C-alpha cells in the first residue's frame, strides 16, 4: 500500500475512511429500519430527486469524522456543498445514493465516499449496508469487496451479461431511449436499481458488464470510477469534462472487452 501521494498519507486516510463509512452505514440503517414516516422529506426538483433528514445527518457524520482526523482536507458533498481545505485533498461524498429507494424501503441504496487529490481520484469506497458489502480501492492497488479481490466482467458481447442504466429528468428521454433500443436489439438486457454508485460497484465486481447514465453528478460516481478502473474495467474521462465538479456529465463504466462497443452505442468518447 502506498504511504504517500504528493506528501499526503493516502493509506491512513483509506483505513480511517473505511471505518467511517461503516459507521455512517450503521446510522443510515437505523433510519432505514425505523418508521419511514419519521423521515422529513424534501423534494429537490421532482419526486425522484429527493433528500431526507437521513442524507443530511449521514453526510455530517462523514464530514465530522474525517475532518477530525484530517482537518486540512476539503469536502464536496451532495447535501452540504463544497468546503475547501488547506491542501489538495477533496473528499467527495454521497451520503445516501438512491434516496428514493431508501425512503420507500427498497434496499438498492448505498453510501459513496471518494478522495480526490488535485484532479485525480485516488480512493473509492462504496458501502451497501443492506448487504453489508464494502467495495474499496486505492489508485494503483486493485479493488476489493469485503477484503477480497474483485475484477470487472470479461464479457465480449453485450448479450453476455446485464447492463446497468441510469436516468434522471435532467436530460430528455431521447438521450437514453436509443441506447436501450440498440441494447435490446443486440439481445442485451438492462436494469435500473436507482443508485448509480451501487451499479458502478457491481460493474467493478463483474456483476454488471457496464453502466451508463447520460448525466450524473460527481458525488454519485467518483468512488465508482476508482473502483471500476482498479478492477480492470474502463471509464470515460469524467474528470476531464468541463466544470465537472459543478455541472456533472455523462458516465460510462464497462468491462474492458465491451467498453469500445458501449462507447459507440452511447456516444461517449473512447480513445481506442
Query: Which residues sit in the known binding site for Mg(2+)?
Result: 78, 94, 96-97, 220
- Whether 236 and 263 have beta carbons less than 8 Å apart is answered as yes
Alpha helices in the chain (DSSP H): 10-32, 53-69, 99-103, 177-185, 196-204, 218-230, 244-247, 259-266
Written as one string, the DSSP assignment of 15-53 is: HHHHHHHHHHHHHHHHHHTS-GGGS-EEEEEETTEEEEH
Query: Is the Cα torsion angle 14, 207, 251, 271 positive or negative in sign?
Result: positive
DSSP state of 141: S
**Backbone angle region of 146, left / alpha / beta, with phi > 0 → left and psi within -120 to 50 → alpha:** left
> Which residue is it, cell 447514465?
213
Binding site feature residues = 78, 94, 96-97, 220
Query: Is the Cα torsion angle 272, 254, 184, 192 positive or negative in sign?
Result: negative
CA angle 121, 127, 131 (to 5 degrees): 150
Amino acid at each position: 500500500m502506498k504511504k504517500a501521494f504528493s506528501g499526503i498519507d493516502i493509506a491512513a486516510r483509506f483505513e480511517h475512511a473505511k471505518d467511517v463509512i461503516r459507521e455512517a452505514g450503521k446510522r443510515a440503517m437505523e433510519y432505514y429500519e425505523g418508521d419511514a414516516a419519521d423521515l422529513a422529506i424534501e423534494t429537490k426538483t421532482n419526486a425522484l430527486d429527493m433528500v431526507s433528514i437521513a442524507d443530511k445527518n449521514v453526510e455530517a457524520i462523514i464530514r465530522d469524522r474525517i475532518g477530525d482526523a484530517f482537518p486540512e482536507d476539503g469536502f464536496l458533498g451532495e447535501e452540504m456543498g463544497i468546503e475547501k481545505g488547506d491542501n489538495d485533498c477533496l473528499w467527495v461524498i454521497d451520503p445516501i445514493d438512491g434516496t428514493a429507494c431508501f425512503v420507500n424501503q427498497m434496499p438498492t441504496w448505498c453510501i459513496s465516499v471518494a478522495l480526490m487529490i488535485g484532479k485525480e481520484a485516488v480512493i473509492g469506497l462504496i458501502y451497501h449496508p443492506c448487504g453489508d458489502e464494502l467495495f474499496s480501492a486505492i489508485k494503483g492497488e486493485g479493488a476489493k469487496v469485503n477484503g477480497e479481490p474483485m475484477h470487472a466482467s470479461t464479457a465480449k458481447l453485450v448479450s453476455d451479461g446485464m447492463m446497468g442504466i441510469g436516468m434522471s429528468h435532467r436530460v430528455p428521454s431521447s438521450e437514453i431511449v436509443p441506447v436501450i433500443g440498440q441494447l435490446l436489439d443486440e439481445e442485451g438486457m438492462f436494469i435500473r436499481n436507482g443508485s448509480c454508485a451501487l451499479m458502478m460497484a457491481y460493474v467493478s465486481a463483474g456483476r454488471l458488464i457496464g453502466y451508463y447514465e447520460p448525466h450524473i453528478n460527481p458525488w454519485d460516481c467518483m468512488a465508482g470510477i476508482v473502483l471500476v478502473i482498479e478492477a480492470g474495467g474502463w471509464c470515460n474521462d469524467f474528470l476531464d469534462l468541463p466544470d465537472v465538479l459543478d455541472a456533472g456529465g455523462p458516465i460510462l463504466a464497462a468491462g474492458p472487452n465491451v467498453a469500445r462497443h458501449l462507447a459507440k452505442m452511447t456516444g461517449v468518447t473512447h480513445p481506442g
